[in-house]
Amino acid sequence: MLKQVAEGVLLHESEFIQSNSIVVQGRTGVLLIDPGITSGEMADLANDLRELGQPVVAGFSTHPDWDHVLWHAAFGDVPRFGTARCAASIHDLLSHTDWKARIAGVLPPEFADEIPTDLLGLITGLPDEAAQIPWDGPKVRIIEHQAHAPGHAALLIEERGVLVAGDMLSDVLMPFLDLDAADPIGDYLAALRLFETVADDVDAVIPGHGSVGGADQLRARIKQDRAYAEALRDGGVPDDPRVGPSAPLDWLPDVHRWQVQRLAQREQDETPE
């Protein structure tokens, strides 16, 4: 089912950790951002769009994690974009002969049979200097940053006042750092500052997973995510309900502890003897 977020911006929520697929209406069809998770959900979405007389004319993946680079044949064979770094990262995965086995190893078991991987990751990287998505619709500004994953992009649909945040600014997930990066926490804090610079233009923020928030929520989420990242940096215990005893998802406190461990390990490895 499609829900309207703003004029010409619709949302489809998947069952798997409230994954959001975003539909932006253009002149001749729609831009589909982070297409969805299960085959059934994506086929339904394609069907809904067909009934609205709104074919998919382009796709975009906010980052190279499996849950953002799927596709269904019913959406059609249209250009699918990502940032250059995002495309390079997923193409690197696809260059391994055992990529399907690698992906299968990280899929959630309860949905694995319903997740179609045939068209996974077939995206074209936009040039580094691309400031917007090339398509026939409202201007969609690309706000690239390093924080959650290589080549992660948030998208600002200025005339609709909508910020598509990818896997940032979620009300249900705490920050997931890119622990392979040179400076995971520094990157995360820099990305949050970047979001602050566009906050005045945003009426609605759509996270990759979780609920849509208004302008106040955007600022509150920036603050909450900054507090989490700073607590990790300073060795403190984050006062964050998302990883506390009543966390909305019971596996999040484990991911949190794992992040703390990995960061401590890095620090140890970097300390000269």
Q: Which residues bind Zn ion (CB under 5 A)?
A: 67, 167, 208
d(CA 108, CA 113): 9
Closest distance between Zn ion and the C-beta of residue 167, in Å?
Answer: 4
Radius of gyration, CA atoms only, the chain: 18
Q: Which is nearer to Zn ion, 64 or 137 (CB)?
A: 64
Q: Answer for the pair 70, 36: CB distance below 8 angstroms, yes or no.
A: yes
Smallest distance from Zn ion to CB 30, Å = 21
Q: Which residue number, 25 or 62, has a Cβ lying nearer to Zn ion?
A: 62
* Separation CA 244–CA 251 (nearest Å): 11
Cβ 236 to Zn ion, closest distance in Å? 26
Q: How far apart are the first and last CA of the chain?
A: 58
Alpha-carbon distance of 20 to 133, in angstroms, equals: 19
Shortest separation between residue 65's beta carbon and Zn ion, angstroms: 5
Shortest Å, Cβ 59 to Zn ion? 16
Which residues lie across from 11 on neighbouring strands?
3, 22
Query: Which C-beta is closer to Zn ion: that of 93 or that of 215?
Result: 93
CB of 62 to Zn ion, least distance (A): 8
Q: Identify which of residues 144 and 167 has a Cβ nearer to Zn ion in the complex.
A: 167
Look at residue 179 and give its three-state secondary structure: coil
> In whole angstroms, how close is the CB of 209 to Zn ion at the nearest point?
6
Closest to Zn ion by CB, 67 vs 187, is 67
**Beta carbon of residue 56, minimum distance to Zn ion (angstroms, whole number):** 20
Rank residues 18 and 25 by Cβ distance to Zn ion and give the closer one: 18
What span, in angstroms and rounded, lies between the C-alpha atoms of 168 and 116? 25
The CA–CA distances, whole Å, from 175 to 86, 132, 137, 234, 251 equal: 19, 25, 31, 16, 14
Whole-angstrom Cα distance, residue 138 to residue 24?
Answer: 8
In three-state form (DSSP H/G/I as H, E/B as E, the rest C), the secondary structure along 44-62 is: HHHHHHHHCCCCEEEEECC
Nearer of residues 29 and 166 to Zn ion, judged by Cβ:
166
**149 and 65 Cβ atoms separated by less than 8 Å:** yes
In the bound state with Zn ion, the residue whose beta carbon lies nearer, of 69 and 162, is 69
Question: Which two tokens mark 172?
Answer: 């249900």
* DSSP run (H or E) holding 232: helix 215-234
